[in-house]
Amino acid sequence: MEKKAEKNISNDFSKMVNEKNPESTLLKDCILAFVIGGLICDVGQFFMNLFLSYGVSNDDIGYYVAAIMVFLGAFLTGIGVYDDIAKYAGAGTVVPITGFANSIVAPAMEFKNEGYVFGIGGKMFVIAGPVLVYGVSSSVIVGLIYYFLMR
Amino acid sequence: MAEKKLGQQTVKFNNPPSIISTASIAGIKEGEGPLRDYYDMVLKDDLFGEESWEKAESKLSRETVLLSLSKANLTPDKIDYLFAGDLLNQIISSSFSARELKIPFFGLYGACSTMTESLSMASMVIDGGYADYAVATTSSHFCSAERQYRFPLEYGTQRPPTAQWTVTGSGAAVLAKNGNGPYVKFVTTGRVMDFGVKDANNMGAAMVPAAADTILRHFKDTGLSPKDYDLIATGDLGELGGELIKDVVAKEGYDMGSKYTDCGIEVYDTEKQIDVNAGGSGCGCSAITFCGYIYDQLVKKNLGRVLLVSTGALLSPTSSLQGESIPGIAHAVTIEMG
């Protein structure tokens, strides 16, 4: 009997929580993510055009731009600015490659106190690790499909 | 029935212990909050001159205890027991602080409910005649909690509107057999309650069932009602939890109305301070609010009788990842000047 009463209260409670739960400001968040993420892409495009004008070949340009953007992401993380931008940008700072740099540099900074091996070395990929594991795995699978079907 | 037991979960003290002094040290963000004038000290640097956040939190805990003792003109060797706990794995802030203090030590884990848990234990030990003096304390630090429970500090994430901000701060209370008050009159020990909230960004709501259960049990056991209190303060339910609990308790016929507040709402200015979203949380939340503002108001007799209900979310990063919901706990302590 008491179990049943408790279950009723529990159901009522879930309803109350859902009713009172404040909504995330989805539209505003999307716009901010679009604008700030877009600006990061503009910076990338700027460097791309710059290198092209210096005669870097189309095949190599990706490496140059990626290196610059990773550096910028890491640098802004290092001076403690990237997370402040991310508070407003959300996905806008997560999706570009600068976000990837941030996800590796942030734990590396954080866990320095636990030493260079088990701290920095061990914890550096706590956030980026899953992305790498599944990114690499899925690219292998796609590569195999390509190899057998499109050859 | 046990001699000092009242109802199902409450203890009534025959010789109510007196809280003879308190001390509170708060972090930078808390020092910008509305209760800043009531803290004994506000940090200028959240590392507190240490190398790591954990060391900083431990120093916070230690310095707060020493400050509370010096305010009562006592030294650590006069204290019979130290009851302390915190949020970190293996409660290192408290044990490492006790390592320096050399007071006989009981380590507690009640997550953010530790302030009233330690007050309960200290009061029972004194009323039971096992101690003349006992110290109840707890601490939390935003940075050490964040790296244990969530993400590295510099990692760029957005916080949902229900997320609460872990308070950096520590509060300590010195309890004595004899003193001029305020006195601890009742202790209602909570049960672990879980209504299935899984969102670790909504801990306030997850703790509401436990807080409501303890508050209702307290009223039933003691025969008191909200009108007997000048203030009923929960620990860290935040804005959403604070609204929910008023409804849940009112449904059972106890209208807390304007007597009710939540330390997590009081500790920050949620309108002006960025990032605090739904309010404060952490052991330090009810600790600095009680040891700062509430104790001050009790001593000045602006508040006569207060029910402090610190609330704890008993989750761990592992339990969350394994898909467990968040069990809550709440302990209530009645403190009055009379």
CB pairs < 8 Å spanning A and B = 90
Mutate which of B143, B149, B155 to test chain A, going by most A C-beta atoms within 10 A? B155
Cis peptide before B104 (omega within 30 of 0): no
How many structural domains is chain A composed of? 1
Q: Provide the domain limits for residue A38.
A: 24-124
Residue A70 burial (C-beta neighbours within 10 Å; 0-12, 13-18, 19+): middle
Task: List the alpha helices (DSSP H) in B170-279.
Answer: 203-222, 238-251, 263-266
Whether A16 is covered by a domain: the verdict is no
pLDDT value of residue A25:
82
A109 touches chain B (CB under 8 A): yes
Residue A1, pLDDT score: 42
**Residue A8 covered by a domain:** no
Contact A13 B248 (CB under 8 A): yes
For a pLDDT cut of 70, what percent of chain A falls above it? 94
Asked if pLDDT for residue B1 goes beyond 80, the answer is no
pLDDT in tens, A94-138: 999 999 999 999 999 999 999 999 999 999 999 999 999 999 999
Q: How many residues would you count in chain B?
A: 338
Q: Which residues from B are below 8 Å from A111, CB to CB?
A: 147, 152
Alpha-carbon gap, residue B321 to B149, rounded angstroms? 11
User: A146 in a domain, yes or no?
Assistant: no
Name which of A17, A29, A102 is nearest B244 (Cβ-Cβ): A17
CA distance B270 to B323: 30
**Is a pLDDT exceeding 50 seen at residue B243?**
yes
> What pLDDT sits at residue A3?
64
Report the distance separating Cα B288 and Cα A143, nearest Å.
Answer: 58
| pLDDT tens digits along B150-207 | 999 999 888 888 899 999 999 999 999 999 989 999 999 999 999 988 888 888 999 9
Tell which of B53, B154, B326 to mutate to test the A interface (max A CBs under 10 Å). B154
Q: What is the ipTM of this complex?
A: 0.88
The structural domains of chain B, ordered by start, are 5-176 (3.40.47.40), 184-336 (3.40.47.40)
Nearest by Cα to A15 from B123, B173, B139, B251: B251
d(CA A93, CA A87): 9
The whole-angstrom distance between B130's CA and the closest CA on chain A is 38
User: Which range has the worst mean pLDDT, A2-6, A26-30, B149-153, B178-182?
Assistant: A2-6
With pLDDT > 90 as the criterion, what percentage of chain A qualifies? Answer: 81
Q: Please indicate, yes or no, if residue A6 is contained in any of the structural domains.
A: no
**Is the CB of A14 less than 8 angstroms away from the CB of B196?**
yes
Find all residues with CB under 8 Å of A85, minimum gap 6, and list them.
A36, A76, A93, B156
Section A139-144 average pLDDT: 96
